[in-house]
Amino acid sequence: MVAEPMSLILLSFLCCLVVADGILTHEILRRGGREMNPVLRKLFEKIGVVEGLVLSRSMLIMVFIASLNSMPVLGWVALNVLYAFVVAHNAKQLMGD
């Protein structure tokens, strides 16, 4: 089955947002911030921040790619909006320093 073009565009944008979230999270943590997600916080303690960010973001992107043909366009829109808020929140945290 071939994916709908709009789904591919939204998936691509979502992957960019996931990477941006990882970069901003790293910078927040580097500046002394705290990871609010207890699962990720534990992962960072076990394998390191950079390694944990790469692993968690890579896994998330793989799940999104695997879901490409099964999620409707509206689902991709919703995920993009949600992740845009996450990235905006992280950016705001950095600018508040």
Calpha distance 59→41 (Å, rounded): 16
pLDDT tens track, the chain, 97 positions: 667 899 999 999 999 999 999 999 999 999 999 999 999 999 999 999 999 999 999 999 999 999 999 999 999 999 999 999 999 999 999 998 5
Where in the sequence is the domain holding 40, given as residue range(s)? 5-95
Q: What is the pLDDT of residue 70?
A: 92
Total of domains in the chain: 1
Asked whether 13 and 78 are in contact (CB, 8 A), the reply is no
Under a CB-based contact definition with an 8 Å cutoff, are residues 11 and 64 in contact?
yes
Q: To which H or E segment does residue 15 belong? A: helix 5-30
